[in-house]
Amino acid sequence: MTEAFAFGPFRLLVARRELLAHGVPVTLGQRAFEILLMLVNRHGQLVTKDELMAEVWPGVVVEENNIQVHISAVRKVLATAGDGDRYLLTVAGRGYRFVAPVKRESAAEIKAAPAPGPDQSAAVPAAFSAATNNLPQQLTSLIGREADLADIKARLGSHRLVTLTGSGGVGKTRLAIEVGRSLLDRYPDGVWLAELAPLNDSQLVTSIIGEVLGVSLSAPSGAIETLALALKNKELLLIVDNCEHVIAEAARVAEALMRNCPRLSILASGRERLAIAGESVVRVPSLPAPEAAGTLTAARAGEYAAVRLFVERASALGCGFALTDANAATVGSICQRLDGIPLAIELAVPRLRVLSLEQLARGLDERFRLLTAGSRTALPRQQTLHALIDWSYALLSDAEKTLLGRLSVFFGNAALASITTIVAGAEIPSEEVSDLLLSLVEKSLVHADPAGSECRYGLLESTRYYASEKLADRPRMRRRHAEHFAARLAQATAAWETTPTQQWIACYQPDVDNLRGALEWAFGPDGDVAVGLELVAHSHVLWAELGLILEHRRWVIAALDKVRKGTPSDVTARLLSWQAGDVRELDDPADYDEAVRAAGLYRKLGDGFQEGRVLLRAGTARLLPDSVDEGERLLRKAHALVRPFGTTKTLARCLSALASARLFAGDLSDARSLHRQAIDVYRDLGEGSDDRLNL
């Protein structure tokens, strides 16, 4: 796979979306970069204006002069930083041809090339080369799904789109993950899981898939086309999980990928099928369970997958449980009354720590009768799952009930510190939160994930919905949740300047679903716009580091629309303090204007460092051949403001931008010196490697 194109003194790094001249990064707008990449990739060939518009502005009607503006920018960059050679030829009335010799380079050949600083978010991060999958490790065995696994694998051999349908708790997600893991050898570009459960906005389906696959989506109107283009030649399996609440958008995205990516396969899951052409639907049933009968031997009961699941999980409790002829009928009855739903069985078994098998069976009987009498219109499996959670809830202490309800305000999962800050109060003293949380984990009502640097805790979706209904003080808890994560993101933004990027991402990336939930509440009918503005103002760096451009733009635009005359100046300044290229394109005049406005606000507030940060963005916006002097002036002012604050990523970015300015001025020696200084700062911060010094 081509990783870079070399021509003259230039290198075009595809994955980084970066142009180097004499080893120094050159500032180039996103559209101009895409045009240059297409021309270089087809060097020697005529590329028509229609082809350029279809590639760079997919699905959008644009005027022809848009191409001319960006072609002009490309010509200026190549002429200013180049060696006098001719690169572009205009074919009158038709298009353009890249005429300079081009060498394609592999990853090995460009290993010594300087890497971008951690602030330079690549449009297409190299996710595929970093790993072959993102499937979570399973800590328990999958029972009773051998036939289903074989069926789904066979379907994927003959169909490129397979959808798993079934009721909640039946195990669609677990089955999809197991299928994916068993097929890793079949897909050279990997198996990737996109979880849609956290989404409240269906328009973000494409963004979530792009995030998982490492494809940066910068234009909402053409996001699907951009995603399809990036995956066009990829041979991979995409697992799209929990589609039911965004079914229409999930179907639209899946159909577009099926039409445009001939080597890509999709395994979807949800309560219903996507209903698009070429789809093969697999109904995932409950596990087989014994019919109601007076007698049942252990050997006969063991033939049923639901019983085997119950026995394995019960045996793992360490309570001495064993399936015998004496208790086989009771175990079979429990599994049958739970309709063989794996999640229901998983929730029921831990009760054996405090109840006998007979007590467990009686408790289920009583709850099922009450629920059936109350609602005959609900689906049977929904009745049983709700009844089981309802009954489990009734067995909790008052403090455990309060904690479970308050945990429903979290999205995805959260660390113990965040949970304690939000849920603690008069009813639950902060020193008791940890013990209560562990008690809920033991009772399988809370899921503990120890995979990262700290254990995180969350609810299964069905449990979360149930617990939400029980939360009496929901408005107050939602506010506390949003205010906490606004404060946590403020801390994250400050820490980013001096924390190694990978360490920083590992610490704050897991909270992105909580950020989404907090924003939805803050800007919703029952929320608080002031809290929403703080959330947006402090989340610029997180969105940027995760490459979530579409979501970042969406929330910034929503927040700026809410700014009023009475909005505090420091809040307005922070709202305008995104990094260059994150919210608006580098060549968008509004990006410069808003940066200058933010700089003025920070100047009045007496915050020199933040003024320097936004002047860096303003200078970068002016770092074009026809305004390079102004750009360098702004960058030098930014450098003077941030330098007194010591070793920071903003200082490194400023030095890197000044290197580009010197390159445009024809001072290659000074450009290289500044670029080396930037790399030294990054290295002092724990970033990069020695390869970055090989200019």
Q: Give me the pLDDT at residue 18, please.
A: 84
Q: Give me the pLDDT at residue 100, please.
A: 84
- The answer on pLDDT for 524 being more than 60 is yes
Strand partners, 449: 456
- The answer on pLDDT for 239 being more than 90 is yes
CA–CA separation, 184 and 178 (whole Å): 10
Q: Give me the pLDDT at residue 265, please.
A: 97
pLDDT tens-digit series, residues 555-568: 999 999 999 988 99
Over residues 377-386, mean pLDDT: 44
Q: Give me the pLDDT at residue 119, please.
A: 39
Q: Give me the pLDDT at residue 136, please.
A: 81
User: Residue 632: how many CB atoms within 10 A of its CB?
Assistant: 20
To which H or E segment does residue 283 belong? strand 279-283
Percent of the chain scored above 90 by pLDDT? 51
Distance in Å from the first CA to the final CA of the chain: 23
Instruction: List the single range of 97-106, 555-564, 567-576 with lowest mean pLDDT.
Output: 97-106
User: Residue 631: how many CB atoms within 10 A of its CB?
Assistant: 24
Q: Give me the pLDDT at residue 215, please.
A: 79
Class of domain 4-113: mainly alpha
The two three-digit tokens of residue 592, written as one number: 């410069």
pLDDT tens-digit series, residues 305-333: 999 999 999 999 888 899 999 999 999 99
6: left (phi over 0), alpha (psi -120 to 50) or beta: beta
Length of the chain: 695
624 vs 217, more confident: 624
**Same fold? 146-283, 398-472:** no
Q: Give me the pLDDT at residue 538, please.
A: 96
User: Residue 93: how many CB atoms within 10 A of its CB?
Assistant: 7
481 vs 195, more confident: 481
Q: Give me the pLDDT at residue 113, please.
A: 45
Q: Tell me which range, 216-230, 271-285, 410-424, is most confidently predicted by mean pLDDT.
A: 410-424
Q: Give CATH for domain 398-472.
A: 1.10.10.10
The two three-digit tokens of residue 76, written as one number: 């200026």
- The answer on pLDDT for 124 being more than 70 is no
pLDDT tens-digit series, residues 586-595: 667 888 999 9
Tally helices (H) and strands (E) across the chain: 31, 16
Q: Give CATH for domain 146-283.
A: 3.40.50.300
Q: Which residue matches tokens 């200013």?
A: 80
Over residues 649-669, mean pLDDT: 93
Residue 287: closest CA among 317, 320, 311, 321: 311
CA–CA separation, 350 and 352 (whole Å): 5
pLDDT band at 685 (very low <50, low <70, confident <90, very high): very high
pLDDT tens-digit series, residues 44-59: 788 888 888 888 877 6
Over residues 498-522, mean pLDDT: 94
479-693 placed in CATH 1.10.3720.10: no
CA–CA separation, 549 and 543 (whole Å): 7
Average pLDDT for the chain = 85
pLDDT band at 125 (very low <50, low <70, confident <90, very high): very low
* Torsional sign, CA 467, 469, 473, 478: positive
Over residues 261-278, mean pLDDT: 93
* Torsional sign, CA 569, 574, 575, 577: positive
Q: Give me the pLDDT at residue 24, please.
A: 82
Q: Parse the chain into domains and list their residue ranges.
A: 4-113, 146-283, 298-375, 398-472, 479-693
- Give the CA angle between residues 492, 611, 600 to the nearest 5°: 130
Over residues 625-637, mean pLDDT: 90
Q: Give me the pLDDT at residue 88, please.
A: 83
pLDDT tens-digit series, residues 326-367: 999 999 999 988 888 888 888 888 888 888 999 888 877 654
Identify the DSSP state of 227: H
Percent of the chain scored above 70 by pLDDT? 88
- The answer on pLDDT for 403 being more than 70 is yes
CA–CA separation, 557 and 15 (whole Å): 28
Q: Give me the pLDDT at residue 369, please.
A: 40
